[in-house]
Amino acid sequence: MSQSIITRIQTLFAPAPDRGGDDDPTQAKGWVIALCVLAACILWFAFSMQEEYIQVLEFPTELTNLPEDKALAAIPPGSVRIQLEGEGIQILRLYYNPPTVPIDVTGQEIDLALAAPEIVKNVSIQTVTPRTVNLAVEDRITKRVPVEPRINMEFTPGYRMIGRVRSLPDSVSVSGARSIVEEIESWPTQTRNLGAMRDSLHAPVALSDSLSPLLDMDVSEVIVKADIQAFTEARRMVPVRPVGLPAGVVVTFEPAMVQVIYQVPLSQYDDVMEADGFYAFVPYADILRDTQGRVFPMLHLPEGLEVRSPRFEPESLRYYDVREDD
């Protein structure tokens, strides 16, 4: 007589007979239980996925049919929340692989409830949030604006920056809606905070994308440069000259020579020491305003030389023999 189905199952999962080995009957029973639990989970999942569920899912959006000579003046919603009803397996498929909801820019007001059924299949759509989208579309223009490097840095003692931080390229083409582009005067880079610097700066920095995706630019990053050099202290005796004297007026200073103490890049030390246009001067207007009998000199520098923190010894000068010739 043939065995019943229950007897066959019992025989299949029965532990093997003890043949004098080291097989553990408890371990065999554990495998049987694990297989039973796994089979139960698979059966539960299969039946659960056939039941009906209500679930809210988020779907990304995508602009379509935007003419090349047009641009958006406001950012449309990046996603749409849709409440769905359907079999669990269909909702699970949409959860892990959500389709993109198209937003057709040929119309100013878009009804997303009409676009959603085209991409969501085999389920019922109950609500769509937002239901409608209003698009602001304007003429597209392009404008060239300077790049504004946003670099914060410090310097190792004895080192300073010559000039300013520059970028290559120094300008960028910005394209977008007329009302936005016309208001842009410059475009910043992302902010970079650097530590104590002692070498010249030459590094790529990304441009800020604060208005993405409304604007397009012809470059996404620039090279920022800064000339950083070691400075040293120098001294030089220079004459004091009056400037702005009217005809017939002579001014003599006491002393006629002053010592200038200043900071200068090592690369320009000799040039500054030998420069002819390096002298102290006092405007005649300062003499006219003086009530104490002393004036304070200022430093005149030839173009192209970097001199920092100049001071004079002595700090102030006496003057005399101010007269008019007949």
Same fold, 52-135 and 143-230: yes
Q: Is the pLDDT of residue 4 over 70?
A: no
- For the ranges 14-28, 179-193, 299-313, the lowest mean pLDDT is seen at 14-28
Q: 143-230 is classed in which CATH architecture? A: Beta Complex (2.170)
Residue matched to tokens 């991409």:
119
Looking at residue 19, its pLDDT comes to 54
Domain ranges of the chain: 52-135, 143-230, 231-324
**Residues making up the chain, counted from first to last:** 326
Residue matched to tokens 């694990």:
34
Looking at residue 182, its pLDDT comes to 94
- Which of 152 and 116 is assigned the larger pLDDT? 152
Q: Is the pLDDT of residue 13 over 70?
A: no
- For the ranges 5-19, 219-233, 303-317, the lowest mean pLDDT is seen at 5-19
Mean pLDDT of the chain: 84
Q: How far apart are alpha carbons 218 and 143 in whole angstroms?
A: 11
Q: Which tokens is 193 given? A: 């905070």
User: Please, what CATH class does the domain formed by 231-324 belong to?
Assistant: mainly beta
Residue 322 burial class via C-beta count within 10 angstroms: exposed 0-12, middle 13-18, buried 19 and up? middle
Q: How far apart are alpha carbons 313 and 317 in whole angstroms?
A: 10
Rounded alpha-carbon distances, angstroms, from residue 156 to 24, 192, 204: 73, 18, 22
Looking at residue 181, its pLDDT comes to 95
Q: Are the beta carbons of 61 and 100 closer than 8 angstroms?
A: yes
Structural fold of domain 52-135: RNA Polymerase Alpha Subunit; Chain A, domain 2 (2.170.120)
Residue-wise pLDDT for 122-150, tens only, equals: 777 888 888 888 888 899 999 999 999 99
What's 266's DSSP letter? G
3-state secondary structure of 296: coil
- Residue 8: what residue type? R
Backbone angles phi, psi at 303, to 5 degrees: -65, 140
Long-range contacts at 62-67 (CB < 8 A, ≥ 24 apart): 62/100, 62/101, 62/102, 62/103, 63/102, 63/103, 63/105, 64/102, 64/103, 64/104, 64/105, 65/104, 65/105, 65/106, 66/105, 66/137
Looking at residue 170, its pLDDT comes to 95
Residue-wise pLDDT for 148-179, tens only, equals: 999 999 999 999 999 899 999 999 999 999 99
Angle at 109 between CA 104 and CA 113, to 5 degrees: 70
Residue-wise pLDDT for 262-314, tens only, equals: 999 999 999 999 998 999 999 999 999 998 989 999 999 988 899 999 999 99
What value does the mean pLDDT take over residues 33-55?
67
pTM of the model: 0.64
3-state secondary structure of 3: coil
Q: How far apart are alpha carbons 60 and 78 in whole angstroms?
A: 6
Residue-wise pLDDT for 190-212, tens only, equals: 999 988 898 999 999 999 987 87
